[in-house]
Amino acid sequence: MRMTPRVCFLFLERGMTKGWDWKSIKKDKAFRAYHDSKGWTALAKHQQQFRHTFESGINLPVREEVKRMLVRDQLRAIKVALTPVKRWREWYTNKRFVPHNRAMVRRINEIIDESGYPGERLIGDRSWATIIISHNEHDTIYFQTLRPKLLQALETGMLAPIDFAQLETWRRGVDSQWNDQAYVIFEQTVTKAQAAKADELRRAINLRSIDLNNRLVALERELGMDFHLSPYHGGPITVKDE
């Protein structure tokens, strides 16, 4: 399956006005066949105009703040992962990583009160705040304060269903030692009962079913594209008999 040039360039133009950067587009193998066309040249010529359209529609100060927070959070997470001695890894986690992450989650809570959830609609990226919050394990702020605001953000379209599902699945999994698979967002094998429960939860937040998700994964492979279905979907979810 191949897009016509007209559809391709319309798709790319809309993507660029929503934050898709030209550098990433040029690297995408799916568009190599169009590199020598006039439409490609026109996109390159107007890339700054598209970027301006994108930035004029988001909250840039909040975007930069959340981006800085993510970088700090990720650097600490990497340090935890690369610390070989268990005793020192636990010390760093408890004394450095956890306190700083909790402070950032509380700042995100303030941002939600001030401007709304810092997701794709507000800052042009749906993953940064989600990653920071997902690292916030065993903290009372999630269920007591943050979760009701996330549900409200979901209702208003400030938070994408897949991102809410990611946060909920991770939190429930950690709290239950992964006996509760919740929305089943990973590439994994689950029972029919787990899949049925997950699909019920998915319907409640208008998230695609497991079956539809698997068909989209297959289409990704056919087209050689990344639909960004979930950061965890490298392949389909397998449903087995009990």
- Say if residue 94 is in the same domain as residue 178: no
| Same domain, residue pair 189 and 237 | yes
**Are 115 and 191 in a shared domain?**
no
Write the DSSP string, 85-139: SHHHHHHHIIIIIHHHHHHHHHHHHHHHHHH---SHHHHS-SSHHHHHHHT--S-
Same structural domain for residues 224 and 208? Answer: yes
Task: Specify whether 212 is located in the same domain as 231.
Answer: yes
Residues 49 and 65 occupy one common structural domain: no
* β 189-191/238-240 pair status: parallel
Which pLDDT score, from 0 to 100, does residue 221 have?
87
Count: domains in the chain: 3
Do 43 and 66 reside in the same domain of the chain?
no
Q: Are residues 64 and 137 in the same domain?
A: yes
Residue range(s) defining the domain that contains residue 10: 5-56
Tell me what pLDDT residue 226 has.
Answer: 80
Tens place of pLDDT per residue across the chain (242 aa): 567 888 989 999 999 999 999 999 999 888 898 999 999 999 999 999 999 999 999 999 999 999 999 999 999 999 999 998 999 999 999 999 999 999 999 999 999 999 999 999 999 999 999 999 999 887 889 989 999 999 999 999 999 999 999 999 999 998 899 899 999 998 889 999 999 999 999 999 999 999 999 999 999 888 887 887 876 666 789 999 86
